[in-house]
Structure 1
Amino acid sequence: MTAELIEFDTPRLRLRQWRESDLAPFFELACDPAVMEFLLPLTTRADSDALAARIKSRLAEHGWGFWAVEHKASGEFAGFTGLSVPMASLPFSPCVEIGWRFARKWWGQGFATEAARGALQVGFERLGLDEIVAFTAVGNLRSAAVMERLGMQEDVAGAFEHPAVPEGHALRPHRLYRIGKPPR
């Protein structure tokens, strides 16, 4: 079943369905060691394309997900941001997470926070979610800072070992953040 696709704009960004033209810059992003520092690697173009296909499929199925982020002024693919039901069974499942990944060129300009604020608004206002979570590897201070700028609170007691990361891997320990639906 295909749902009605949600797309939206923020002041500087367009969050939209993925296009074939996004695949090459997405793979470039996946090859950047700084971007992937706190993520498991996507070592081949086929791996990168397969992830994009899964993201696109979930968007088509639900109408929402990890949207491709386009910089409106330039028309360039900057990365992705959005909402997703995690594939892995996590200690706090069921849940909807918010996540983002941007090419380094777009870092330090507030794009992750801007796109994520738009995604939170969609989650609370259009999807009627009561809570959205975010999680990241313990050392990923940049993503944790975005979570905090969004008003998310760290759930220290909710720290966990990510089951999709191999045991003993440095990225397995994760921090958990939460944000509830704002009062009306």
Structure 2
Amino acid sequence: MIEIRTPRLILRRWNDDDLVPMADINADSQVMRWIDDGSVRDLEYTADAIEQWEEEWDEEGFGLFAVELLASGELVGFTGLSVPEFLPEVMPAVAISWRLGSQFWGQGYASEAAHATLEFALQDRGLDRVICINRMGNDASENVIRKLGMEPELETEHPVYGYPLHVYAIDLTEFEA
């Protein structure tokens, strides 16, 4: 089983104990305002999502990691890799993303987890290139993207919701572990 440890975090596959804390994160309007139409999600949605994330691990050899605090074992949220099929103009691609509970914002956890995931993508999984898709105005995520060393590549719109998106990219030759 894949597990990545950083100085403060463990990135790992999902287990049954993650459902309720992840559902709490998905039910937070502050967290979800940047996701799709901004709607909060319930326990059933979260259970289905975790099942899909685990299936992606099995099919692709990568996916979204559950992220927990090393010191307490508390679930922080997720970070990981996925295939952004919803945005055809960037395909083929693998995208890095994250979603953390609002109580964990502003402490560097997203950057720490995303950097470990990017290193995993480029060094362990042998990907040549990783992208990140960010909704314009989400400055906190924009800061994480810059810390990863990603460069702007494309401006587009969400195909369903119509809001503007920035697409960033980094390839193996630009990555510094």
TM-score by length of 2: 0.91
Structure 2 Cα separation of the partners of residues 108 and 89 of structure 1: 29
- Considering Cα pairs closer than 8 Å and 6+ residues apart, tell me whether 1 or 2 has the greater RCO: 1
Structure 2 Cα separation of the partners of residues 182 and 46 of structure 1: 41
Aligned-residue offset at 1:54: 0.6
Stretches of structure 1 that go unaligned for 5 or more consecutive residues are none
Describe the superposition over 1:43-67 as per-residue Cα deviations: whole angstroms up to 9, x where unpaired.
3221121111111111233332111
> What SS does the corresponding residue of 1:91 show, helix, strand or coil?
helix
The answer on 1:28 being equivalent to 2:19 is: no
1:19 maps to a residue whose letter is: N
TM-score by length of 1: 0.88
Structure 1 segments, 4+ long, off by >4 Å, are none
Aligned-residue offset at 1:89: 4.1
Note closer, same or farther for the CA distance 1:42–1:59 as it changes in structure 2 (3 Å cut): farther
Q: Count the aligned residue pairs.
A: 173
Q: Is the 8 A contact 2:10 2:68 kept in 1?
A: yes
The answer on 1:179 being equivalent to 2:170 is: yes
Structure 1 Cα separation of the partners of residues 60 and 40 of structure 2: 25
Q: Is the 8 A contact 1:6 1:63 kept in 2?
A: no
Aligned-residue offset at 1:42: 4.2
Q: Is the 8 A contact 2:13 2:66 kept in 1?
A: yes
Structure 2 Cα separation of the partners of residues 179 and 72 of structure 1: 28
* Equivalences for residues 49-128 of structure 1 within 5 A: 49-128=47-126
- Identical columns (%): 37
Q: Pairwise CA RMSD of aligned residues? A: 1.6
Stretches of structure 2 that go unaligned for 5 or more consecutive residues are none
